[in-house]
Structure 1
Amino acid sequence: MPIGIPVPLPVVQIAATSLDQTEQTRDMIRGMLSESPAEHVYGLDIGKERIQFLDGRPGRIEPVASSSRGLEGARPTFVICDETHHWVSSNGGPTVFETLQRNADKTMADGSRLMQTTNAFNPNEESVAQRTYEKFLQDFPELLYDCREGAPVEDLTDSEAVLAALRDAYGDSYWAPVTGLVSKATDPLTPKAVFYRFYCNQIMESADNWIDKYTWESLFDRNDPIKPGDQIAIGFDGSLRSDSTAIVGCRLRDGKLFLIHIQEKDERDEDWQVNPFLVDRAMRLANETYKVEWVYCDPNQWQNQIGFWSLDFKELDKEGRDIVFEFPPQRVKQMAAAIERFHTAVLLGNEICHDGDKILRQHITNAVTFEVPQGVLITKESKGSKKKIDAAMAAVLAYAARGEAIADGRMKIRRKARMRTY
């Protein structure tokens, strides 16, 4: 059985994609060491950010994040890589991991080790956790993979089967409220893929669909069609060559979504590109046809055009209000919140519906989810996928714009006429 031994220069690194993400592990370590025999035996200075020796001897426990250049050349004795299912290309996770692994490899003969802690990964994201698992499947030496997965559950309404799967997954974690987690299996706010991954620790073999076809179709409202003069909000997601461009409207009073304009890439035409004049005309025609109260635009590659819309729409507004706003996808926290609000409204069927447009439905059901520390975002099923999601992104922006317009007091309440008798 392996036994820990003292080393002359102990360097323990707690690694994550951001320093905030290391906080939970650091707090656990600080909590266990504080006022424990180890604090006095080893003479530890337990700081909020770093733990080191009181007498100035070399050695420390420290958090490290995604600055891989700064990490290069370190000589750690133990590295904890936390939540590696979040370590994806978009946040530099794989690059950071490669640096940490190289550093640990250089002193492996002296006992250095690297450990990952993770939930079940999303196979669509190619995270560090996924790459490690695939490495394990190849019987790679010097790799120990330890995982408890719950038994497969075909029917999530079968509470006994769900409870058995949860007990399998949680094992001897007696403090976990396993019985109370059974209800999560049928919670409308918990997608099936999320339940399987985060509660049963099961790796899903297919990507996490954001919204399925049947859920979306249940929101179809054939009554009360969109009419000229309706108060609406608009979402715009644009491209020039490599993707589609979409404009989606959302009526303020009931959240009814409808497709205003779409240009989808012709995969057979290598020289295809969006016609910006048609996009501009569609946006201006929408402003003439409806009472547009708020527009959210993804500004990527369209900054100049959005600037013109902003100036012109403000000038046309009777009250001189700002109508057009940028919503950059780089604002990850805000984007994740907008996607969550949209998704929650869809699952609950609350203040959201649509006119049955088939292209919008296809883009909505094409979208798959991926996780970031700030929440859940949506993307195509793969980088080269021909299944577009631009109208889905525009719908999210339109729904978010609706919320902003209502919060700003721009929605006019329709009052039913009352008959008066004398």
Structure 2
Amino acid sequence: MYVWETLDRNVQKTAGAGSRLIETTNAFNPNEASIAQRTYEAAMEFGAKGILYDCREAVRDIDLKDESAVRAGVIDAYGDSHWVDVDGIVAAVMDPRTSAAVAYRFYLNNIQENADGWLVKTEWDACFDDGDDPILPGDQIAIGFDGSIRGDSTAIVGARLRDGKLFMLGLWENPRNPKQPDWEVDVLAVEAAVKRAFETYRVEWMYADPPYWQEAIGRWAIEYGDDRVYEYWTNKPMRMCEATERLHSAVAVGDVKHDGNPDLTRHMLNAVTREVPQGLLITKDSPRSRKKIDAAVCAILAFEARADAIADGRLQSKRRRVVGF
């Protein structure tokens, strides 16, 4: 992205002298917020001047098991590229090892999300609350917390009890900067964010994943109430699969909201699914991927905490419990 932005700036400065920038790419994945997507949207949705967008796509939703339909789609997508090995491409599409997302994007040139992506971007976008009903101090909320020390992110996500609206309470990400090889999360900042959340909102339920933070979670339970702060081990597949499916279903039917936070959206759309005997879990697209999903895990925990708080009658609670020492 940074290379493209540098090139684009230089071209813009010398456009009058005839400078041009050519972009060639496969069909983009709309979950990745790529340069290809930015160019497509600038040209096709916003009518930006100075961009010539030329693309051939096969008919969408071709039956990938129908060889004749696949062949027609390949011929359509490649147009007059007579040098293309149509038979080879058809064979690649029909190969059972080829995922649907790869077939559509790389062989039929369709804009396509990863087949194993957890959320559909359009469905997540449809859950956006444009600000008419903002989260306010004193609102009843539930919290999800997933902490790390060095490698992954540490995040805190809230969910308002009455409507499930998700919002970020804090995010600390390893910048992966060679100049900061010893980077660690600012533990004091995390502690302060948790304290601020409990002071600002009526936190009815908090689920926190214990690894690396078990001592801190214990202190939070003492300080804010052991009927408010609970450990939630995300490495227990049955429980986590059920919680993951609950939020996924809520997004699909529009039974959850979010405030449009770009970091939360990025983490939610980075998540891909992994099948286990108990169901589906979310994970990164590869073990060494820099595309973090920790805020998505927190959103799952926050949404689950909300459900349990409501089941416990907290939504009707008129006052906050006071913990004395």
Mapped pair 1:342 → 2:251? no
Aligned AA for 2:208?
C
Name the structure 1 match of 2:52.
none
Aligned equivalent of 2:125, options 184, 201, 217 = 217
Name the structure 1 match of 2:200.
289
1:180-201 deviation per Cα after TM superposition (whole angstroms, max 9, x unaligned): xxxxxxxxxxxxxxxxxxxx97
Aligned equivalent of 1:362, options 262, 266, 274 = 266
Contact 1:299–1:306 at 8 Å: present in 2 too?
A: yes
Name the structure 2 match of 1:388.
292
Q: What's the CA shift for 1:213?
A: 2.5
1:8-37 deviation per Cα after TM superposition (whole angstroms, max 9, x unaligned): xxxxxxxxxxxxxxxxxxxxxxxxxxxxxx
For the residues of structure 2 that align with 1:209 and 1:408, how far apart are their CA atoms? 33
Contact 1:213–1:361 at 8 Å: present in 2 too?
A: no
For the residues of structure 2 that align with 1:201 and 1:407, how far apart are their CA atoms? 45
What secondary structure, in the 3-state scheme, does the structure 2 residue paired with 1:377 have? strand
Contact 1:339–1:376 at 8 Å: present in 2 too?
A: yes
Pair 1:303–1:214, CA change in 2 (3 A) = same
For the residues of structure 2 that align with 1:270 and 1:369, how far apart are their CA atoms? 30
For the residues of structure 2 that align with 1:327 and 1:301, how far apart are their CA atoms? 13
Name the structure 1 match of 2:283.
379
Identity score, percent: 50
For the residues of structure 2 that align with 1:153 and 1:349, how far apart are their CA atoms? 29
What secondary structure, in the 3-state scheme, does the structure 2 residue paired with 1:296 have? strand
Where in structure 2 are the equivalents of 1:29-108 lying within 5 Å? none
For the residues of structure 2 that align with 1:153 and 1:339, how far apart are their CA atoms? 33
For the residues of structure 1 that align with 2:115 and 2:288, how far apart are their CA atoms? 15
Name the structure 1 match of 2:27.
none
Aligned equivalent of 1:273, options 184, 206, 225 = 184
Q: What's the CA shift for 1:329?
A: 1.4
Backbone CA RMSD of aligned residues: 2.4
Structure 2 residue runs without a partner (length 5+): 1-57, 67-94, 103-113, 319-325
Name the structure 2 match of 1:235.
144
What secondary structure, in the 3-state scheme, does the structure 2 residue paired with 1:353 have? coil
TM-score (norm 1): 0.49
What secondary structure, in the 3-state scheme, does the structure 1 residue paired with 2:185 have? coil
1:236-295 deviation per Cα after TM superposition (whole angstroms, max 9, x unaligned): 011000111000000000000000001011101211110111001100110000000000
What secondary structure, in the 3-state scheme, does the structure 2 residue paired with 1:278 have? helix
What secondary structure, in the 3-state scheme, does the structure 2 residue paired with 1:401 have? helix
1:324-371 deviation per Cα after TM superposition (whole angstroms, max 9, x unaligned): 111111211000000000000000112x10011000000000001010
Q: What's the CA shift for 1:218?
A: 1.1
Structure 1 residue runs without a partner (length 5+): 1-151, 166-199, 315-320, 415-422
Number of aligned residue pairs: 219
For the residues of structure 2 that align with 1:300 and 1:310, how far apart are their CA atoms? 16
Contact 1:296–1:324 at 8 Å: present in 2 too?
A: yes
Q: What's the CA shift for 1:304?
A: 0.2
Name the structure 1 match of 2:167.
258
Structure 1: 4+ residue segments shifted above 6 A = none
Name the structure 2 match of 1:322.
227
Name the structure 2 match of 1:402.
306
For the residues of structure 1 that align with 2:229 and 2:300, how far apart are their CA atoms? 16
What secondary structure, in the 3-state scheme, does the structure 2 residue paired with 1:259 have? strand
What secondary structure, in the 3-state scheme, does the structure 2 residue paired with 1:369 have? strand
For the residues of structure 2 that align with 1:241 and 1:218, how far apart are their CA atoms? 34
Aligned AA for 2:116?
D
What secondary structure, in the 3-state scheme, does the structure 1 residue paired with 2:315 have? coil
1:25-83 deviation per Cα after TM superposition (whole angstroms, max 9, x unaligned): xxxxxxxxxxxxxxxxxxxxxxxxxxxxxxxxxxxxxxxxxxxxxxxxxxxxxxxxxxx
Contact 1:207–1:381 at 8 Å: present in 2 too?
A: no
For the residues of structure 1 that align with 2:147 and 2:306, how far apart are their CA atoms? 19
Aligned AA for 1:271?
D
Contact 2:123–2:254 at 8 Å: present in 1 too?
A: no
Q: What's the CA shift for 1:217?
A: 1.2
For the residues of structure 2 that align with 1:334 and 1:228, how far apart are their CA atoms? 31
Name the structure 2 match of 1:46.
none
Q: What's the CA shift for 1:301?
A: 0.6
1:129-181 deviation per Cα after TM superposition (whole angstroms, max 9, x unaligned): xxxxxxxxxxxxxxxxxxxxxxx99427xxxx59x75xxxxxxxxxxxxxxxx
Q: Which has the larger radius of gyration?
A: 1
For the residues of structure 2 that align with 1:201 and 1:408, how far apart are their CA atoms? 48
